Amino acid sequence: MSSIEERAAKALDDPENWPAEPKEAVARQRLLADRVRTEPLDPDSVRYVAGLDVSYGVGDTELAAAAVVLDARTLEVVDTSLVADTPSFPYISGLFAFRELPPVLKAIQGLSVAPDVFVCDGFGLAHPRRFGIASHLGVLIDAPVIGSAKSVLYGRNSPPGEERGSWTPMVAGRSELVDDTETLAAEGAEVVGRVLRTRARTKPVYVSVGHRVDLAGSVDLILRLSPKYRIPEPIRHADRLCGQYRKEHKEQQGHETKN
């Protein structure tokens, strides 16, 4: 079987993956969406977890992508990768994988520790076409990916309890809010994710299956990865890594301009 780096390179090199027009991008999502697989994820068997994130500069001309691998047990950082790049697709809600995946794949190529699971800052199945960035990445590199977002895109839900670990289901296409698992199953409702309280009395995060994981295992792992703060540690690390890189780069440019 090929390595993750090889699969990332192959995905980047295929022009079919990177349409220029939104309409083509939607068609691409519809084509790839049925490749998504939900499989059991045992959080106890996970050793390395990679957090992924992208930060932007001014004027829509520059961005930085980071991949940070943590030991899932100790939450220690064991590997990092950082890449500077240029946006090649506009930000459009529902299509933002086409903007962020190219730099993210490049950052993944720079890793030397192979992650067992990836965590994306965004959605997987909790998406209008069931193909958010977490599912998209998972299908492109055929790896386990979990989506963990900071706000809602798709699906209805009631607010979870205020205590850490409390959650409610995110349900597609319903008019009334029902949280009971049996009732939802009996009605054949489509559960696309879970709203999870990772920290008491703090805004929850939105967890959904990306690829080759299941929802319960994903929520369990995300909770373990967030022992202190709202945002899971792998994403927090990736966030501050590409964020500070962009800041330094901006300052450096400012100084050069003055001379």
Binding residues for Mg(2+): 53, 121
**SS percent in the chain: helix, strand, coil, step 5:** 35, 20, 40
Positive or negative torsion for Cα 172, 176, 182, 186 = negative
Instruction: Name the residue nearer to DNA (CB basis): 121 or 220.
Output: 121
First to last CA, the chain: 52
Minimum distance of DNA from residue 107's CB (angstroms): 14
Q: Please tell me whether residue 209 binds DNA under the rule CB under 7 A.
A: no
- Which residues on adjacent β-strands are paired with residue 64? 55, 84
Q: Please tell me whether residue 97 binds DNA under the rule CB under 7 A.
A: yes
Q: Please tell me whether residue 56 binds DNA under the rule CB under 7 A.
A: yes
Residues contacting DNA: total by CB under 7 A: 27
The DSSP result for 221-254, as a single string, is HHHHT-SSSSS-HHHHHHHHHHHHHHHHHHHHHH
Known binding-site residue numbers: 53, 121
The DSSP result for 133-154, as a single string, is HHHHHHHHHT--EEEEESS--S
The residues, any chain, with a CB within 8 Å of residue 96's CB and separated by 6 or more, are 122, 133
Kindly indicate which of the ranges 77-85, 94-102, 176-184, 219-227 contains the residues binding DNA, using the contact rule CB under 7 A: 94-102
Kindly indicate which of the ranges 15-23, 68-76, 86-94, 170-178 contains the residues binding DNA, using the contact rule CB under 7 A: 86-94
Q: Please tell me whether residue 58 binds DNA under the rule CB under 7 A.
A: yes
Minimum distance of DNA from residue 99's CB (angstroms): 7
Task: Report the alpha-carbon distance of residue 239 to residue 52 in Å, rounded.
Answer: 8
Q: Please tell me whether residue 123 binds DNA under the rule CB under 7 A.
A: yes
Task: Report the alpha-carbon distance of residue 10 to residue 14 in Å, rounded.
Answer: 6
Minimum distance of DNA from residue 1's CB (angstroms): 27
Q: Please tell me whether residue 89 binds DNA under the rule CB under 7 A.
A: no
The residues, any chain, with a CB within 8 Å of residue 36's CB and separated by 6 or more, are 124, 125, 130, 131, 135, 138, 139, 209, 210, 211
- Which residues on adjacent β-strands are paired with residue 170? 193
Minimum distance of DNA from residue 195's CB (angstroms): 13
At residue 65, φ and ψ (nearest 5 deg) are -120, 140
Task: Report the alpha-carbon distance of residue 160 to residue 225 in Å, rounded.
Answer: 19
Minimum distance of DNA from residue 248's CB (angstroms): 12
Q: Please tell me whether residue 217 binds DNA under the rule CB under 7 A.
A: no
Q: Please tell me whether residue 53 binds DNA under the rule CB under 7 A.
A: yes
Q: Give me the 124-163 binding string for DNA, x by CB under 7 A, dash otherwise.
A: ---x----xxx------------x-xxxxx----------
Q: Please tell me whether residue 254 binds DNA under the rule CB under 7 A.
A: no
Kindly indicate which of the ranges 1-9, 78-86, 95-103, 217-225 contains the residues binding DNA, using the contact rule CB under 7 A: 95-103
Minimum distance of DNA from residue 190's CB (angstroms): 17
Which residues sit at the interface with DNA, rule CB under 7 A?
A: 53-56, 58, 91, 93-97, 121-123, 127, 132-134, 147, 149-153, 201, 243, 246
